[in-house]
Amino acid sequence: MPSKDRARKFREMMYMARRLKPREDCHEIKHQDMMFLNGIKKIGNGEPIKISQIAKKFRFSAPAATQVVRKLEERGLVERIIRDDDRRSVYIQVSELANIEIRKIETQMNQRVNAILDYLGDEDTDQLFRIMEKMVKYLDEEEKERNCK
């Protein structure tokens, strides 16, 4: 297969794989918001964090991060906290409502992925993982080279 056709076929397959994302019309939380909320949890290891930490991690300006947090707060997905040991700073944490919804979405996504992997069978699943790991390794090496130049 010519390289142009291979590249097109690969892009089509990657685009089609996007269907693994949770359906946004079925949930209160959009995919982008879920990624942001999981990022907040990861940055703080489950502890409340400052908006400046969010801005830095996501490469947002402080006002942009504040705006995103405000919208999530209006929907009850994050909570602002003032800590006793640092009363001047405002901290953010993911709300229990968001955690419940994230767990529901992750459970549904896991069920869907497992159904796909069951359909593929063990041999094809192992090959898929091997190929994906190889691709990630290539992308990691390429990124390292680009950052060094």
Does position 34 have pLDDT exceeding 60, yes or no?
yes
Tokens of 126: 């192992």
CATH node for 3-148:
1.10.10.10
Query: Which amino acid appears at position 100 of this protein?
Result: I
> Could you please report the per-residue DSSP string of 111-144?
HHHHHHHHHHHHHHHHHHHHHHHHHHHHHHHHHH
Does position 122 have pLDDT exceeding 70, yes or no?
yes
Q: What is the mean pLDDT of residues 66-86?
A: 91
Sign of CA dihedral 93, 42, 132, 109: negative
Does position 93 have pLDDT exceeding 90, yes or no?
yes
Cβ atoms of 20 and 112 within 8 Å: the answer is yes
Does position 60 have pLDDT exceeding 70, yes or no?
yes
Q: Where are the domains of the chain?
A: 3-148
| Measured CA distances, 33 to 78, 90, 114, 127, 143 (Å) | 11, 20, 24, 32, 26
Does position 22 have pLDDT exceeding 80, yes or no?
no
pLDDT for position 25: 54
pLDDT for position 23: 62
Global confidence as pTM? 0.71
